[in-house]
Every structure is written in C-alpha cells, then in structure tokens.
Structure 1
Amino acid sequence: MSVEELEAYFAGIELPERVELDKGVVIEDIPLFLESHFSYLKKNWDLKSADVFVLRLHQLHAKIEAGREEG
C-alpha cells in the first residue's frame, strides 16, 4: 500500500483511541501520530529514514484491520 493509499485509508475510518503497535509501543494520540508521520514523509520521502515512518503506518493499518476482524 502506498503512502497516498495509507493516508486515504486513515482519513476514511473511525480511529481507535489507542493502539499497541508492538509490546511496549503504544500510540495514545493516533491523529497526532498520523499527522506527524505524513508530514515527515511529505518533506523527506527521499531519505532512508522515511522507511521507518512508512513501516509504522503499515503496522498501524494492520493492527486496526486485525481489530476489525476480531470485533
């Protein structure tokens, strides 16, 4: 999924209050998380460090989808 597709996905859903991405890695403010990650990617898409931001967005997408399947 591209960054543009991820941005559209998150804009089109109701976001949970918090998500545990991994053991000990909890997102408490998902709108802020998304804003900061997409802002960074728009400014720094060509840097290697952008890969981590994309990875976290994919992880969040997967967690939300897994929660929908369970619930």
Structure 2
Amino acid sequence: MSIEELEAYFTGINLPDQIELERGVMVMNVPLFLESHLNYVKINPDLRSAEVFIHRLNQLKDRLEELNA
C-alpha cells in the first residue's frame, strides 16, 4: 500500500493503546507510533529506511484486521 492508502486506512478508526505487532515486538503507544511512522515516510519518501517504516505500518494494519475479524 502507498503511504496515502495507509494514512486513509488509519484515519477515523479506533486504535488500541498498545499492540503486539509480532511475537516479542510490542508497540506501547499506537497513536504515537502511527503518527511518527507516517510523518517519517512523508518527510523521507525516497530514503531506503522509509521502507522499514512502511513495512511496520503494514504490519500494524494487518494486525488490526486480524484482531477485528
């Protein structure tokens, strides 16, 4: 998904305070995680490191969909 699609997905949904993205990887403040990751990718879209942030955003999306299924 593009950063725009990810941002649209997360807009207006209820977020948990914390979530386990994968075994042993906890996000303790989901709203802050989301804000910082979206901002980083918007500011640095051409850096290779942005791929890691996009991957984590996709992990969060997938995990939220799992929990809401």
Give TM-score scaled by structure 2 length: 0.94
Shift of 1:5: 1.0
- 2:65 corresponds in structure 1 to 65
Q: Which runs of 5+ in 2 are unaligned?
A: none
Matched pairs, number: 69
Segments of 4+ in structure 1 off by > 2 A? none
How high is the sequence identity, in percent, across the aligned residues?
55
> Unmatched 5+ residue regions in structure 1?
none
The TM-score, its normalising length taken from structure 1, stands at 0.91
Output the CA distance in 2 between the equivalents of 1:18 and 1:32: 10
Q: Distance in 1 between matches of 2:2 and 2:12?
A: 15
Q: Could you say which residue in structure 2 is the equivalent of 1:42?
A: 42
Q: Quote the offset at 1:12 in angstroms.
A: 2.0
SS in 1 for 2:20: strand
Query: Given residue 57 of structure 2, which amino acid in structure 1 is its aligned partner?
Result: L
Tell me the distance in 2 between the aligned counterparts of 1:14 and 1:22: 20
Deviations 1:7-48, CA, capped at 9 Å, x for gaps: 111112101121101111101111100111011111110011
